[in-house]
Amino acid sequence: MSHSVYSENPLLTPRQDHSIAPVSVDLLPQHLAIIMDGNGRWAQEQGAPREEGHKVGSEVVNTIVRTCRRWGIKHLTLYAFSEQNWGRPKSEIKALMKLLDQYLREQRSEILEHRIRLRAIGNLSKLPFWVRTPLQALIKESAQAQGMTLTLALSYGGREEIVKATQKIAQKVQQGQLSPSDITDETIQAHLYAPDQPAPDLIIRTSGEQRLSNFLLWQCAYAEFDFLDIPWPMFNEEALRDVCLRFASRERRFGLTSAQIDAKTQKITSS
């Protein structure tokens, strides 16, 4: 896949050192969001229990977080557990919670050492106390970190997030703190789980499915998408490079024309 991108855009040249970003930081997504799908199906294809797929998937998380940090991607959001995932078998949910707890404890020193700010979005009150405690502790410890922001979407649902935001806004209207005519896009944004977080530039989904599954529904309005056929346990740095190269070759117009984008770019470069 990467060869076709290279040939289409000679400015994007392959590099042998994979520790180096595939393109300049300016062409990378500043906010990358990933729907990590396919762990269970991958495991079943290997003749292993679904829990084994989640275990391998957690190891892939470590690789991708480290890669994004090295490349200078400022925001990484991982869809780890949805509101709808609570309907899965209890044994699988318990295994997922144990993996989350293990990740928080094992990666704590690396997160703090590399100045990664950890955040979590979703209905966190649903998480077991023994998971919520180390999660909230690490969020607090890393709150002032100035490096990459790693956001875990846990017990998360995009519709649920919008509903909660509108409930808060409605309460302010009811209390006379806000007029309905004053409600804007910015008002809704201010009441989301992470109001100060920039919208995702690129959303990746693994496993071959081509849907958002209730992920960042408000925030994805102008995001680019890349749907991959490989399951999450097979996702690696090389796959991420290919996706970033495709992203860098796209023209993001945000409702404008190509001519307007060119004129805007020329104005910036000449100033």
Q: Catalogue the active-site residues.
A: 37, 85
Q: What letter represents residue 5's amino acid?
A: V
Task: Report how far residue 59's alpha carbon sits from residue 211's, in angstroms, rounded to the nearest whole number.
Answer: 24
Give the phi and the psi of residue 148 in degrees, each rounded to 5. -65, 145
SS3 75: strand
Pair 107, 99: CB distance under 8 Å: no
Tokens of 210: 């081509």
Task: Report how far residue 201's alpha carbon sits from residue 28's, in angstroms, rounded to the nearest whole number.
Answer: 9
β-pairing verdict for 149-156 and 75-82: parallel
Task: Report how far residue 22's alpha carbon sits from residue 7's, in angstroms, rounded to the nearest whole number.
Answer: 14
SS3 156: strand
Task: Report how far residue 45's alpha carbon sits from residue 15's, in angstroms, rounded to the nearest whole number.
Answer: 33
SS3 52: helix
Task: Report how far residue 173's alpha carbon sits from residue 159's, in angstroms, rounded to the nearest whole number.
Answer: 21
Task: Report how far residue 43's alpha carbon sits from residue 48's, in angstroms, rounded to the nearest whole number.
Answer: 5
